[in-house]
């Protein structure tokens, strides 16, 4: 089945530590996106990529980094510069048609 | 850029009643309006969408209406069931923005027995 896979489902980060969230899709979609969702809040765009080896900052990119070395993969690194990283992180992809397909999310907690 | 406002933020209805969620958008160039349902701890799932050349679209108990002149669109759920309880997000894509969706702030729908 085609889809988008995020891992891990739960992730714990210590103070000052970098962590990387995985996002893989087998939908052959060109565009991929990372969103952050805080409790009871909407979706805020962190980074997006329309094509391999290219990506742009979203509305809240500070403290985050991404790479897009392969069409299928768009990992997100939460760096120690992100002072409030506890949140639910969602990855999405988009093909030629308009709709986004979302992954099931990664819940990151600072311990 | 595009701005999408969504109301209400919470909505409680009795099973079998109808639920209506409303969104407004600011960019008249927006031409695609999807609705997503998010259950607790899961990613959003597309439930219905509408394009700007269509005024209404229906899929079983779910319908979406679009008023381009007023720049608002609405989600209608009829004969609500407990499994409809979730957070619903509207969104809009304006042309010329590399297909970045702008989301509303979400509506938490609670269907009570």
Q: What is the nearest CA distance from B81 to chain A, expressed in angstroms?
A: 22
| Contact assessment for residue A18 and residue A86, using Cβ atoms and an 8 Å cutoff | no
Among candidates A42, A45, A100 on the partner chain, residue whose Cβ is nearest the Cβ of B106: A42
Judging contacts by C-beta atoms under 8 Å, the chain A residues touching residue B104 are 42
Integer Rg of chain A from CA = 13
Among candidates A50, A101, A107 on the partner chain, residue whose Cβ is nearest the Cβ of B98: A50
- Token digits of residue B33: 């309006």
- Average pLDDT, integer, range B54-82: 95
Residue B101's pLDDT band (cuts 50, 70, 90): confident
Give the integer Cα–Cα distance in Å for A49 and A32. 5
Q: Do B34 and A98 touch (CB under 8 A)?
A: yes
Round the average pLDDT of chain A to a whole number and report it: 92
Q: Which helix (H) or strand (E) holds A6?
A: strand A4-7
Give the integer Cα–Cα distance in Å for B49 and A106. 26
The tens digit of pLDDT for each residue in A65-90 reads 999 999 999 999 999 988 899 999 99
Q: Residue B99: its pLDDT value, please?
A: 67
Q: Do B100 and A45 touch (CB under 8 A)?
A: yes
Strand arrangement, sheet containing A64-66: A4-7, A19-25, A76-78, A64-66
Q: Residue B22: its pLDDT value, please?
A: 98
| Contact assessment for residue A89 and residue A76, using Cβ atoms and an 8 Å cutoff | yes
Q: Mutate which of A3, A40, A41, A43 to test chain B, going by most B C-beta atoms within 10 A?
A: A43
B69 burial via Cβ count (<10 Å: 0-12, 13-18, 19+): exposed
- Token digits of residue B25: 């958008």
Among candidates A40, A58, A94 on the partner chain, residue whose Cβ is nearest the Cβ of B99: A94
């Amino acid at each position: 089945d085609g889809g988008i896979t995020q891992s891990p489902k739960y992730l714990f980060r210590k103070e000052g530590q970098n962590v990387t969230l995985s996002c893989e899709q087998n939908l052959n979609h060109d565009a991929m996106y990372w969103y952050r969702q805080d409790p009871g809040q909407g979706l805020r765009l962190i980074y997006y990529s329309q094509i391999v080896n290219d990506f742009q900052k979203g509305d809240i990119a500070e403290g985050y980094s991404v790479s897009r070395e392969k069409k299928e993969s768009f990992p997100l690194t939460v760096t120690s510069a992100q002072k409030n990283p506890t949140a639910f992180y969602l990855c999405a992809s988009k093909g030629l048609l308009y709709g986004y397909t979302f992954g099931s999310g990664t819940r990151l907690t600072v311990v | 850029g595009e701005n999408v406002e969504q109301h209400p933020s919470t909505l409680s209805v009795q099973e079998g009643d109808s639920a209506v969620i409303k969104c407004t958008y600011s960019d008249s160039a927006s031409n695609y309006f999807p609705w997503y349902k998010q259950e607790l701890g899961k990613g959003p799932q597309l439930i219905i969408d509408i394009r700007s050349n269509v005024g209404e679209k229906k899929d079983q108990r779910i319908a979406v209406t679009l008023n381009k002149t007023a720049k608002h669109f609405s989600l209608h759920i009829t004969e609500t069931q407990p499994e409809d309880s979730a957070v619903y997000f509207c969104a809009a894509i304006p042309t010329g923005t590399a297909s970045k969706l702008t989301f509303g702030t979400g509506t938490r729908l609670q269907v009570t027995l």
